[in-house]
A and B are shown apart, each in its own frame.
Chain A
Amino acid sequence: MSTQSSRFAARLMVAPSVIVLFIWMIVPLGLTIFFSFRLYRLISPERTGWVGFNNYIWFLNSPDFWLAISNTLLLVGGVLAITVVFGVLIALLIDQPVWGQGPLRILVISPFFVMPPVAASIWENLFMHPQNGMLASAAQGLGMQPILFLENYPMASIIFIVSWEWLPFATLILLTALQSMSSEQMEAAEMDGASSLSRFRYLVLPHLTRSITVVVLIQTIFLLGIFGEIYTTTQGGPGSASTTLPYMIYKQAVIAKDIGRAAAGGIIAVILANIVAFFLMRSMGKFLDA
């Protein structure tokens, strides 16, 4: 069905999506590149001019930069590891013959509907607060000192909160995949005396590979931009202990009011995101035609 006219019509129909997305991408990107070579501080707007690569040099030499990179990778990697491992385990559990699978799914999916600022504020105040939080009460009940989660373990706490938000997504995709497995195969393996561990290793896990890839791809897209959870809880602190790359750029722009340096950071982030995207898309591309 690839007549000349239908090909032309097809192009015409894709065009609006491509054009608006291209504008949405290129205009802010172009402006950001422009600012990244300029002296542009909101505190002294009268001083302007070209500064070459100075903004980039400042950003790359900032002691916070490598910390921000490693925090970003820690956040993405940590959340991916937690959600995939626990997602598989919980999906396996719910896939067993249990009563009330419908209500179970509803309970498990709920955190996915909670908007990031609310999720962060619930955990920060109702649970992790050192005086009034439930975890502090629990610690006191056990005769221990309350743990200062966000003060002493800011990255671990943020990874925990974000994992709670994304665990439902991973669990439900993996559960859907498990439920499409043929039970004959499992029963045959069982009759042949395969242990449950080797059944998991050689039957279940290969079956899940594809959905795990989807989980990793989609979550990475959203996790690279995590902002609200940090803004609500630690504001990147204490010090810069929980500053990620997006948050460091935000601090440069909004707190230090240095648009030039923030723009340079933005371009660095875009380059890094594209490197990650390239590898992810290549591994994901395989699943598109199938």
Chain B
Amino acid sequence: MARAVPLRSKIGYTAAAWAVALLIFFPVLWTILTSFKTEVSAVASPPQLFTADWTLENYAEVWQRSDYPRFFWNSVILSVGSTLLGLVIAIPAAWSMAFVSGRNTKDLLMWMLSTKMMPAAAVLIPMYLIFQRTGLFDSHIGLVLALMLMNLPIIVWMLYTYFKEIPAEILEAARMDGASLKNEILYVLTPMAVPGIASTMLLNIILAWNEAFWTITLTTTKAAPLSAFIASFSAPQGLFYAKLSAASTMAILPILVLGWFSQKQLVRGLTFGAVK
């Protein structure tokens, strides 16, 4: 709102807003700061925001004790792979729902979303058995498939809301000019939908990166991503605070930085097209 406001109230609002934002962010900040402390100063009482004896030793030790690069690459492969595969399947579906919507399009969307309401714990054992029997257990393909299917309803839904905003007349014009269905999607629709597709992609990479049920229960070593890496660092009991913080920072920093840079597109995507 571009209104003339007295300077004093602007200062007041700014101070209040920053205080609230810093409070929300504080646990993340505190974890990052603790990761640079020695174990002794990490549990110092009263807690110190900064210490004189800051160190990189925690990172070195976490790096040595575990195969961080493998976990990291597995996270990248699983989150990016499942998102791309999901987009390939979802784009045609969302396209036809948005432009050739029939009577039951809405029901279909609702049904898709409702598959996400099935509690994962309820089907853990069958899923485990299926993955064991088919050789998908602890494999990249298996986890990519599982994460893709988990997020597919969200991908379809988001793309649908974006595609709906594209005027149908443009597609009709392309068809008049003799564009085939394939060309229509590839050269007319896709370029116009790039911002929406990008938002969808970002959000789903983040959701897949942070998924921590199937990625832990359906992997052991080969395909285990960072969620499994951090699970192996839990239960530190006292003297591992700095190392736990270093491991936590290593698990969240890549996606945190990606999120910060893409924050604008991401928020647009998050609203599921319901907020203009």
A214 to B113, CA, bound (A): 13
Cβ contacts under 8 Å, A247 to chain B: 121
Residue A123 at the B interface, CB < 8 A?
yes
A232 to B235, CA, bound (A): 8
Question: Are the CB atoms of B119 and A225 closer together than 8 Å?
Answer: yes
Within 8 A of B (CB), among A240-277: 245-247, 249-250, 253-254, 259, 262-263, 265-267, 269-270, 273-274, 276-277
For chain B, the count of residues having a C-beta within 8 Å of the partner chain is: 98
Name A99's closest neighbour in chain B (CB-CB): B14
Cβ contacts under 8 Å, B227 to chain A: 115, 117
A17 to B132, CA, bound (A): 24
Question: Are the CB atoms of B45 and A140 closer together than 8 Å?
Answer: yes
Stretch at the interface among B52-60, B61-69, B193-201, B236-244: B236-244
Question: Are the CB atoms of A225 and B120 closer together than 8 Å?
Answer: yes
9 A-B pairs besides A106-B260, A221-B116, A266-B123 with CB distance below 8 A are A14-B97, A108-B21, A115-B226, A126-B31, A132-B43, A183-B2, A183-B3, A224-B117, A287-B274
Residue A43 at the B interface, CB < 8 A?
no
Closest Cβ–Cβ distance, residue A33 to chain B (whole Å): 10
Residue A281 at the B interface, CB < 8 A?
yes
A211 to B268, CA, bound (A): 12
Residue B166 at the A interface, CB < 8 A?
no
**CB-defined A-B contacts under 8 Å, sample of 19:** A6-B181, A10-B96, A18-B93, A24-B115, A93-B13, A110-B256, A116-B212, A126-B30, A126-B34, A131-B238, A132-B45, A210-B275, A221-B117, A225-B121, A227-B213, A228-B212, A245-B119, A253-B121, A281-B113
Residue A71 at the B interface, CB < 8 A?
no
- Which of these, A126, A173, A254, contacts B275 with CB under 8 Å? A173
Closest Cβ–Cβ distance, residue B128 to chain A (whole Å): 9
- Which of these, A9, A177, A274, contacts B114 with CB under 8 Å? A274
Question: Are the CB atoms of B118 and A167 closer together than 8 Å?
Answer: no
A96-133 to B contact mask, C-beta < 8 Å, 1/0: 11111000111111111111111101110111000110
Q: In terms of DSSP, what is the predominant structure of the interface of chain B?
A: helix
Residue B95 at the A interface, CB < 8 A?
yes
Question: Are the CB atoms of B90 and A17 closer together than 8 Å?
Answer: yes
Closest Cβ–Cβ distance, residue B113 to chain A (whole Å): 7
A13-29 to B contact mask, C-beta < 8 Å, 1/0: 11011101100110111
